[in-house]
Amino acid sequence: MKKLTLAPLLLGLAAALPAHATEGALGRPITGLQVQSYTGLVPPTPGWTLALGYVYYSGSIGAKREVPLVGGGSSLGLDAEFQMFTASALYIWDTKPGAWNFASMVTVPLAYANVDATLDIGRFTGSKSQSKTGLYDMTFVPLIASHHFSQTQHMSLALYVYAPTGEYHKGDLTNLSLHNWTFSPTVGYTALFNKGTLEWSTTAAVDIYTKDGATDYQNGDVFRIDSMLLNRWPSGWGLGVVGGWIYQLEKDTGPTADRLNGFKGRSVALGPLVSYAHTFGKSKVEFQARWLHEFDVTNRLKGNPAMISATIPL
């Protein structure tokens, strides 16, 4: 495990990203973007790790589907584009080598969002578009606890807290906040094979939303699981595959949600992953890029999410 103390470590780069679920056909996770390298492993070396990420997502729901909007009301179909830059700071506690190690994390996201919708106003319909740029909802992780079963098998337990820090105005078509608190108990697992060159990491969580008081909309709990398999070579390059599954456990509730029969949905995504690691001074920095195709999508935006990330031990 000592060889991994300078390895890329990021538990939740995409934690604050806007995505496709629940109210506004949006939610906290984007399918297949939550899992990161060594998600089950907090190494025993104390200090800071900085993670930077860029996400691009463009998705749509056909005009035959009525969609509840975050700012209130509904639209007939929806086209949305998101671009987001995230900066995550993770601190590993000085707990010495042992069966358990601990960390804490905060993520600050800056987002651009553009939404095009067809609004139903009485007997008339009309198209509307709106864009916004600014701070999105921040993520706080007070404690990440990592248990080491062996040198090659590791598990992490954490509670992610999403705060409504982004700009929100009732009645707006585009908002940079879901306007609720979300709590996500999360389990991560990492297994290493072939002397550590082959990594399998998986993240599973349940997103529990509070009610949006402005619209009286209550999102149902959402289960999600993401997994990645990555093979690394001595040259620093790595190649793998990543996938994700999102499944809403409960129906949404509230006046709009009840009219739409709960707007309960699901999504599956799969795609390639490439990485490159290089040592700068005493720090080993890893860059990753992934692209996924979503399919088997119900009551959610459908698109092709892409992400570029870098993890930098300080």
Structure tokens, 4: 């991994």
Residue 122 confidence (pLDDT): 52
pLDDT above 90: percentage of residues in the chain: 62
pLDDT under 50: residue ranges of the chain: 1-13, 15-21
Residue 172 confidence (pLDDT): 87
Rounded CA separation 225/302 (Å): 18
Rounded CA separation 226/39 (Å): 11
Closest C-alpha to 297, from 261, 275, 266, 276 = 266
Residue 96 confidence (pLDDT): 83
Contact by Cβ (8 Å): 76, 66 = yes
80-115 in b/e burial notation, b at 16+ Cβ within 10 A? bbbebebebebbbeeeeeeeebbbebbbebbbbbbb
Contact by Cβ (8 Å): 221, 206 = yes
The pTM of this model reads: 0.88
Taking phi over 0 as left and psi of -120 to 50 as alpha, with beta for the rest, 165 belongs to alpha
Residue 301 confidence (pLDDT): 87
Residue 240 confidence (pLDDT): 98
Residue 137 confidence (pLDDT): 94
Rounded CA separation 307/305 (Å): 7
Residue 66 confidence (pLDDT): 77
Contact by Cβ (8 Å): 132, 8 = no
3-state secondary structure 115-182: EEEEEEECCEEEEEEEEEEEECCCEEEEEEEEEECCCCEEEEEEEEEECCCCCCCCCCCCCCCCCCCE
Contact by Cβ (8 Å): 159, 11 = no
Other CB atoms within 10 Å distance of the CB of residue 132: 18
Closest C-alpha to 48, from 109, 99, 135, 106 = 106
Residue 63 confidence (pLDDT): 67
